[in-house]
Structure formats: structure tokens, C-alpha cells
Amino acid sequence: MKHLFPLLFLFGFTPVFSQGYFGLSGAANLSFWEWHIRSLDTDIDYQPALGWRFGALGGIKFAPWIGLRAELATQMKSNKIDDLEFTDMTSTGVYRERYQYWEASLLVEVFPVKKLRSLYLMGGATAGYLGRARVKGCVTENGERKCSTSVVDLKEGFYRRNLASFDWGLGYEFTLDAASRLRVEGRMQQGLEDFTTHDNVDASVRSVMLGVAYVHRL
């Protein structure tokens, strides 16, 4: 035990430093989807689409250069096809899919620059659960546009409802007052598992997020 405290000070951990915080976050995302049909050796050309993520976060800094952060959030991941053409050559269509996840994240935050502690890197893992999905299609024929929206039955089909992801990114923290901070972050979230359980399909999703968070120090 007598050797423990020198080691703590060596790595920058001091018993009197630890700082806790909590806050709220919001972000816009752009999701990129890859779908490959093995038997046909064909890719489905889904286009990236905008979505969102909102959540609550809390964390603790063990030292000026490192901390741990937990999040509970919900995220909408979307894709689209904007250039559908039909065989009659008089009709065009657009197609949208929206998937809403409930997520729990655990991230390590590192503040690597001693003279710029407001800049930080982050990395960790997210466990997500696919709660609901919606599909919207629109067809334009002879100048008339018709749209329909349907809810996807996730109990049918081959959806993988539990999805693990790896997260990494960077952020900057602005001081508002003695206890309040505003964070601006860029973040990548890469799915680690196939989106589908179908043996004939390889499908994955990654999302790029740009967000802000209000943080209050305890």
C-alpha cells in the first residue's frame, strides 16, 4: 500500500482531483449503409441519409488528462434511394428507411495536450437495440406525387435487433461559467456486426455524428 500513492501521482491520478459531471447531448448524423447479396454478387446502392441522436451523459475525470463517460441515448439511422426508375419510363420514385435505436455507450476521454485541456479524444463501445423502423416510398407519375409510410414488423424478417458498435472521435470544451461547459464533438460509430441475420446478405452501417452537449460539473 505504501507504494500505491507514488504510482498514482506518477500517472497523474490524485485523490483530490476527481471531477464528476452530467449533461445532455444532441447530434445530427449521416449514416452509410453497405448491402451485398451474396448469391447475386450485387450491392444495393443505398445513399447516405441524415438522422439524429439525443441522450443524457455522465462521467468522471480521474486526472487532468483522462476520464470515463457513460451515455444513454436514442438514435435514428436512415438511408435512401433517390433515383428509382420504373420500366414504364414515365414514373420515378424515392425510398426512405429509418431505424431507431436505444443505446448505451461507455467511452474513455483523453485530454492529450497539457496546455490545451479543452481538446479531447474519445473512444469506446456502444450497445444498441433496434426499437422500431419505418419505410416511406414516393412515386411521381405524370407530375403527380403519391407517398405512403409503413411501420416495419421487426419480429419478422432477418433484422439483428442487438447491435454492438465501436465509437471514436474528438471534441472541444468551451467554458460558460465556473460549473458549466459546452462541448462540440465529431464522432464516428462503426457497427461491429451484420445488420441482418440472413445467410445470403452482408449488411453493415456506420454513422458520422456532429453534435453539441451541455455539461454541468459537480
Q: Residue 45: its pLDDT value, please?
A: 84
Top CATH class, 17-217? mainly beta
Q: How high is the pLDDT of residue 8?
A: 45
**In terms of pLDDT, which residue wins out, 143 or 48?**
48
Give the closest residue to 161 by CA, choosing from 199, 200, 195. Answer: 195
Residue 193, number of CB atoms within 10 A of its CB: 14
E-state strands within the chain:
19-37, 42-44, 47-63, 66-85, 91-110, 119-141, 144-151, 162-175, 180-191, 201-217
Please compute the mean of the pLDDT values over residues 210-217 and round it to a whole number: 97
Task: Enter the C-alpha cell of residue 65.
Answer: 488528462
Q: What is the model's pLDDT at position 161?
A: 93
- Closest by alpha carbon to 211, among 184, 180, 188? 184
Can you give the residue ranges of every domain in the chain?
A: 17-217
What pLDDT shows up at residue 85?
Answer: 63
Say which residue, 127 or 96, is predicted with more confidence.
127
CA-to-CA distance for 68 and 60, rounded, in angstroms?
6
pTM for the whole structure: 0.85
Give the model confidence (pLDDT) of 57-112 as tens digits: 999 999 999 999 999 999 999 998 887 665 555 566 788 999 999 999 999 999 99
